[in-house]
Structure 1
Amino acid sequence: MTDDLTLTTTHTAGPLAVLRIGGDIAMQTAPALRKEALDVIAQGHPHLILDLTGITFCDSSGFNALIGIMRCATAAHGSLTLAAVPDRMLRMLDLTGLSTIMQSYPDTDAAMNARPATAPEPA
């Protein structure tokens, strides 16, 4: 485990944003993840996809950060979706029951394609 965490916003379109995360989500780094995600939501992107491809470790602080992000996204009439969740982390999501409230997909493309199309503006 290290104190390294990389956060990169890789896509923004309307209310949707994709945040790619790499490294460890632990007590030292979870606050930075939460802050970055909440900043993206506050910038008008309440539907957030977290691409977890590069995650090497996640402790309870990381899961707590995910819950906080999900709550803030929901409060902003948005959602939190996980993509490319590492197997070890996916098992913990299942064990804790979080997999029942956080949708996850094998990759970012699948997560984006699963999003419902936005309704057209009324004429």
Structure 2
Amino acid sequence: MQARVTDHRSDVAVLQLCGELDADTASQLHATLADLMERPVPRIVVDLTELKFCDSVGLSAFITSKQVIAARGGWLSFAGANPFLAQLMETVGLGRYFAIFPEVDDAIAAAQL
């Protein structure tokens, strides 16, 4: 898995994930999220457009990060999931805890509200 962070406003970071997120690559995601959580108010859109696979270890990284992010007044949302990932997120109930958008631009626009 590859992870790249871009800032789309001074207060919103987009974390683009490419490849496969699993037990072998989850430590990289944890490290990237830890860096982003150091921001005073972490606001993170996770771009899943290029992510081909995600297992439970990958999903748990997002879930465990949510508490720290929320405690700092921030949020984490998802955008651009392929049909497999969208179904996976629906099945495990992530939609109850995270905002999930069809496109990154939609997630960034929602941040302005």
Regarding TM over 0.5, the answer is yes
Runs of 4+ in 1 over 2 A off after TM superposition: 12-15
1:79 aligns with 2:75: yes
Q: How does 1:1-123 map to 2 (within 5 A)?
A: 5-44=1-40, 46-117=42-113
Distance 1:28 1:65 in 2: 13
- Aligned-residue identity in percent: 27
Q: Which runs of 5+ in 1 are unaligned?
A: 118-123
Equivalent residues, number: 113
1:35 Cα offset (Å): 1.4
1:45 Cα offset (Å): 5.0
* TM-score (ref. length: structure 2): 0.90
Q: Which runs of 5+ in 2 are unaligned?
A: none
SS in structure 2 of the partner of residue 49 of structure 1: strand
Give the structure, 1 or 2, with the largest relative contact order (CA under 8 Å, sep 6 or more): 2
* TM-score (ref. length: structure 1): 0.84
SS in structure 2 of the partner of residue 74 of structure 1: helix
